[in-house]
Amino acid sequence: MNFKIPFSGRAHLYTQEELNLIKEVSQNAVPLTQGKYLKEFEEKFAKYIGVKYAFGVNNATNALEMVAQLCKFKEGEEIIAPAHTFTASVYPFIKKGANVKWADIDFDSRVISLENIKKCVTEKTKAIVVVHLYGMIIPDIEAIAEFCKNNNLILIEDTAQALGTEINGKKAGSFGDFGVFSFHSHKNITTLGEGGMLTCNDKKYADIIPMLRHNGHIAWNFERKYYWEPAMGNVDLPELDGEYLMPNNYCMGEVEAALGSKLLERIDKINEDKRKRAIKFIDEITKVSNLLEFNRINDKRHNYHLLVAFAKRKRDEIMKKLAFEKGVQVIVQYYPLYRYDLYKKLGFGQANCPNTEKFFDNIQLVS
Ligand SMILES: *Cc1c(COP(=O)(O)O)cnc(C)c1O
């Protein structure tokens, strides 16, 4: 093998056409936020995912925070979430008042499963946060969605890593009440380093998300004689089922939105290229070592945002050999969230997740 793979060392390869677009939109868009490019990106994105509504935001963490607000947690209410994920999947919900029950991962798929969700359900459970981690759509997602519907639980799909993946022709992010997507620099497409999208199908959410996202801005609800009276526009509190929510500014700029639209045209190709590279890498490396176990999925269920392996033994020896002899820099990622100081201090440092423990302690990731 003669791979040279640094971890996260690649520049983002925008095409000349995309670079031209960045220049053109930054010079010509008026205003540079909340304009026609955002609207176009949102429409294209909703269509691509197969949902009714999509809202561009400045990052996925804020999209998750908006969703957490829309859940309207009452004292003692719980979410169920995996601990084997990026921290932003979970802490926005704690910030907005939820308690967390940590669900274990399934050992083979390495993501949350219906069986493990069921073990955590109590009469306090209000929402389930599932994460299509590594860019693999959760194998159980259809059953999880069905379960949530039957039990009146809000389902949130953290699809930050899994844009464009699908199961039986239905895209990740379209199964739950909310889909959350990231265009951060590390993700399969990036809108200049930061960006995100929030999707949903329910009009009651879609009606207030723009206000929630943009400082409570809303048009006056009466006819005006002059456009400047009583003021240019109103600001109000977004209201959901009789309760008020506090707004914020989570807007995405026009240049990012225009670039996002353009990149969406080639996301399937980007994913396919990543998948091909991953499959080649898996096949090559398993020829020389049988110590690493990969999820080898050669179809649209996986976009290989990250390539992950479980080391049956000798993890650190393998890592050293790969890094220092083969030029393949691998890392260990997704420290179980309940082991972090942040979650311990918030009172969520306890969990019963043996698969999460075993997997993290033997995992390695190639970007
Ligand atoms: C990247 C990521 C996020 C956060 O995305 P940002 O756009 O950086 O806020 C959330 N969840 C997961 C699983 C991620 O990988």
Per-residue pLDDT tens digits for 15-61? 999 999 999 999 999 999 999 999 999 999 999 999 999 999 999 99
Q: What is the CA radius of gyration of the chain?
A: 21
Given phi > 0 = left and psi -120 to 50 = alpha, else beta, which region is 135?
Answer: left
What percent of the chain stands above pLDDT 90?
Answer: 90
CA distance 282 to 294: 7
Residue 95 corresponds to which tokens in the numbers above?
């910030």
How crowded is residue 218: how many other Cβ atoms within 10 Å of its Cβ?
18
Residue nearest to atom 11 of ligand 1 (CA): 89
* Distance from residue 85's CA to the centre of ligand 1 (Å): 9
Which residues in 282-294 are b (16+ Cβ under 10 Å) and which e?
A: beebeeeeebbbb
> Is there an atom of ligand 1 within 6 Å of 160 CB?
yes
CA distance 11 to 186: 10
User: Which among 128, 92, 99 is positioned nearest to 111, based on CA atoms?
Assistant: 128
Distance of CA 16 to the CA centre of its chain: 28
> Is there an atom of ligand 1 within 6 Å of 199 CB?
no
> Is there an atom of ligand 1 within 6 Å of 61 CB?
yes
Work out the pLDDT band at 6, boundaries 50, 70, 90.
Answer: low
Tokens 């225009």 sit at which residue? 258
Q: What average pLDDT score do residues 75-103 get?
A: 98
* Distance from residue 184's CA to the centre of ligand 1 (Å): 7
Amino acid at site 16: Q
Residue 230 corresponds to which tokens in the numbers above?
């009583």
> 60 exposed, middle or buried (CB, 10 Å; 0-12, 13-18, 19+)?
buried
Work out the pLDDT band at 70, boundaries 50, 70, 90.
Answer: very high
CA distance 323 to 305: 20
> Is there an atom of ligand 1 within 6 Å of 196 CB?
yes
Residue 11 has pLDDT above 70, yes or no: no
273-320 pLDDT tens trace = 999 999 999 999 999 888 999 999 999 999 999 999 999 888 999 999
CA distance 102 to 90: 10
> Is there an atom of ligand 1 within 6 Å of 60 CB?
yes
CA distance 291 to 357: 19
